[in-house]
Amino acid sequence: MQRWWVVAGLRAAVSSVKKIFPLPKHVAIIMDGNGRWAEKRGLPRLIGHRAGTDNVRRVVECFDAYQVKYLTLYAFSTENWRRPGEEVDGLLRILAEMIDRETRELHRRGAKLRHLGRIDGLPPLLQDKVQEALEMTKNNPGMVLNIAFDYGGRAEILEAVRRIIQDGIPSEEITESVFSSYLYTADVPEPDLVIRTGGEIRLSNFLIWQTAYSEFYSTSTLWPDFGEKEIEEALVAYSQRERRFGGLKAEGEAREG
């Protein structure tokens, strides 16, 4: 109940905030810093990953209150399989627990879950859990929550190229829009804002086609500590950017929202 009042208060403030600055329609987040969060506390890295997973609901609620329609979370990259087996196994267990714990709540809130990345590399039971969550929420009208798990930007582009070749599309018909329709994000608008927690300033193979004109924001806050205050700071910073998409801003023209 206490959490409900916090979200209700945030929602009440959104209408006034939106009059002050434009909000992005699609926010993508590189959730970095779970391991460092745990190490700073003398805890195992998996405790940090669990704390990061526990933070997802708070972040989703906050962006939903700001009426951000699309939220994409970078949870596990194709390169993360190189981590020690114990850590990878723990991450897979945490994902399964998160699906069991959060799917019905997201469904109740009207959110639509999507998976970005490959699914065939996951354990069969986890594949089933993912598919069940996607099926349960597929017709929901609210926020679209994309979970990028076993995702890599280069792998996504290569897969798109292979599928275009398989479909026999002539080279002269391959436009940017055609190519985009073969990506995992085919029916999702490109991110307006990419946030990276943990202080690093790089994309790490995340949505490298889709973020060509995204605004980038880095915060030193580690992912488990990333909350309402940090989200507001990121949105305010976004509002101060001038998005020209390679062109020149006309005099008197309003900022892109």
Just list the catalytic residues: 32, 80
One-letter identity of residue 202: R
- Strand (E) positions, 110-225? 112-116, 144-151, 193-196, 215-218
Using only C-alpha atoms, what is the Rg of the chain?
A: 19
Separation between Cα atoms, residue 224 and residue 9, nearest integer Å: 22
Rounded to an integer, what distance in angstroms lies between the CA atom of residue 214 and that of residue 194?
7
3-state secondary structure (DSSP) of residue 149 = strand
CA distances from 117 to 53, 124, 156 (A): 18, 16, 7
Structure tokens at 228: 């309402």
Residue pair 141/110 in contact (Cβ under 8 Å)? The answer is yes
